[in-house]
Amino acid sequence: MTRARWAALLMVLALTALAVQGGEYSTANWLLLQREVVAERAQVAALEQSIAGLKRRAKAVESDPAEQERLARERWGYIRPGETLYRIVRPGEN
């Protein structure tokens, strides 16, 4: 191969490398962005599941008498007539 062909081949390889890795959006940067997109989508899916669960819980609190009773008993110590409430207080708690 002549010296001109070697120079041309070297120039083509250098330009190819520059096209792949150079510039504002290199291949490495693109791969990093792709990983970030996957992570963000996973986080969005998790948040959507959490929101759906909170909506189900809110609906139950608004409309399910058993859930309302459970919350009233748990949080405020409500009891039915004829029941006796026992509270266990650990030392240092008021």
Residue 94: per-residue pLDDT: 65
Percentage of the chain surpassing pLDDT 70? 96
Mean predicted confidence (pLDDT) in 69-85? 89
So where are the chain's domains?
3-76
Query: Under a CB-based contact definition with an 8 Å cutoff, are residues 23 and 16 in contact?
Result: no
Q: Which residue reads 């708690």 in tokens? A: 93
The model's pLDDT over 20-47, given as tens digits with 9 standing for 90+, comes to 776 677 777 888 999 999 999 999 999 9
Closest CA to 70 of 80, 81, 55: 80
